[in-house]
Amino acid sequence: MTATALPATTPPVVADAPSPRKARPFFKRFRPSRLVVNVVLGGIALFWLVPSLSMLIISFRPAGLFEISGWWKVFTVPSQLTLQNYKELFSGGSSTALGGGVPSGLAPGSVLDSLRTSLEISIPATLLVTLIASLTAYSIVFGRWKGRNIVFLTIVGLMVVPLQVALIPVASLYRDMGSAFGWNPFGTISGVVIFHVAFGLPFGIFLMRNFYTGIPTALIEAGRIDGAGEWTLFRRVVIPLGIAAAASLAIFQFIWVWNDLLVALVFLGGDPHVPLTLFLYDQERTLANNFWIISTGSMVSIIVPLIVFLAFQRHFVRGMLAGAVK
């Protein structure tokens, strides 16, 4: 296209024309000296690592040192590093003093309990959102009922609704459910899961719908002509084809729910079984001198999403790109 637009009397440029298609950085010729860019970005990358590094180091230093010497001193005395904080955190209050005599004040096993609670919330919330969003998206894309576009656009509109607008009524809805059906999800893990699923749906449906519109309708029609039911089509055709999108959604949702604080705080606040984010929030509010618990607990809380992210990086980024507006 570029080449044809050029006057034929400029042979060097025309000769050049086929090469630009090579995927080379288009700022290549800019070169504010490659070295400078490398050094600057290297500096930025190191700078970006400092906070994570500090948390990592504090979690491996004796608690008694926290107040009297900065974590960066570890580079001069690497022998300070110890696993004691992790031992203490997981055994939970079994020993009375640690390092410089800092009492832990932790209920036994509370971190393990929080780890379990985080999983108990995140896993069902992730699976349910993925399943329900896929079903809804299927209906919107392949169904034949009227008003599908309106329903889809309504759901797009719901994507940005701040969950704050729903907290109070949902809390009272949960309590009403308790008096009506004898099942009150308020203060239970189910209550948190239901809330996360509902608020994860608009984005989930949006993402799955965008993917499903790429599946040829003819495929579904052919299946229908052959007498396949909708459930069969969904299970045997659409789910296998849409597995990549479902994975993106699941990873994204999992990390989102795992990292949530507000929903857990509202529906589980004060409960003995709290997810890790809420555990950290509570720890920060106790008057104890317990930054080592917070740092070590933070490390524990990021391990799971870190593994999930590193294992499914592409899926996560794809999900994020799809839903840039959540």
Q: Which stretch binds another protein (CB under 8 A): 89-97, 99-107, 240-248, 308-316?
A: 308-316
Candidate list 123, 239, 241, 320; residue touching another protein; CB under 8 A: 320
Q: Which two tokens stand for residue 286?
A: 């106790």
CA pair distance 255, 260, nearest whole angstrom: 9
Q: Enter the DSSP assignment of 31.
A: -
Q: Among residues 79 and 149, whose Cβ is nearest to another protein?
A: 149
CA angle, residues 26, 27, 30, in degrees to nearest 5: 145
Residue 141 Cβ vs another protein, minimum distance, rounded to whole Å: 5
Residue pair 61/67 in contact by the 8 Å Cβ criterion: no
* 294 binds another protein, rule: CB under 8 A: yes
Q: Which stretch binds another protein (CB under 8 A): 75-83, 106-114, 119-127, 293-301?
A: 293-301
CA pair distance 44, 38, nearest whole angstrom: 10
> Per CB under 8 A, which of residues 106..145 are in contact with another protein?
132-133, 135-136, 138-145
Residue 278 Cβ vs another protein, minimum distance, rounded to whole Å: 8
Contact pattern for another protein over residues 241 through 260, marking x by CB under 8 A = --------------x--xxx
> Per CB under 8 A, which of residues 26..65 are in contact with another protein?
26-31, 34, 37-38, 40-41, 44-45, 48-52, 54-55, 58
* 6 binds another protein, rule: CB under 8 A: yes
**Site size for another protein (CB under 8 A):** 124
> Which stretch of DSSP H or E encloses residue 138?
helix 110-142
CA angle, residues 19, 23, 24, in degrees to nearest 5: 85
Enumerate residues 6+ apart whose C-beta is below 8 A from 127. 250
* 86 binds another protein, rule: CB under 8 A: no
Q: Which two tokens stand for residue 144?
A: 């034949």
Enumerate residues 6+ apart whose C-beta is below 8 A from 317. none
CA pair distance 151, 158, nearest whole angstrom: 11
Q: Which two tokens stand for residue 179?
A: 């008096």
Q: Among residues 90 and 309, whose Cβ is nearest to another protein?
A: 309
Q: Among residues 113 and 209, whose Cβ is nearest to another protein?
A: 209
Q: Among residues 100 and 269, whose Cβ is nearest to another protein?
A: 269
Q: Which stretch binds another protein (CB under 8 A): 97-105, 107-115, 207-215, 240-248?
A: 207-215
Q: Enter the DSSP assignment of 68.
A: T
> Per CB under 8 A, which of residues 159..198 are in contact with another protein?
159-162, 164-171, 173, 194-195, 197-198
CA angle, residues 200, 118, 115, in degrees to nearest 5: 160
Residue 48 Cβ vs another protein, minimum distance, rounded to whole Å: 5
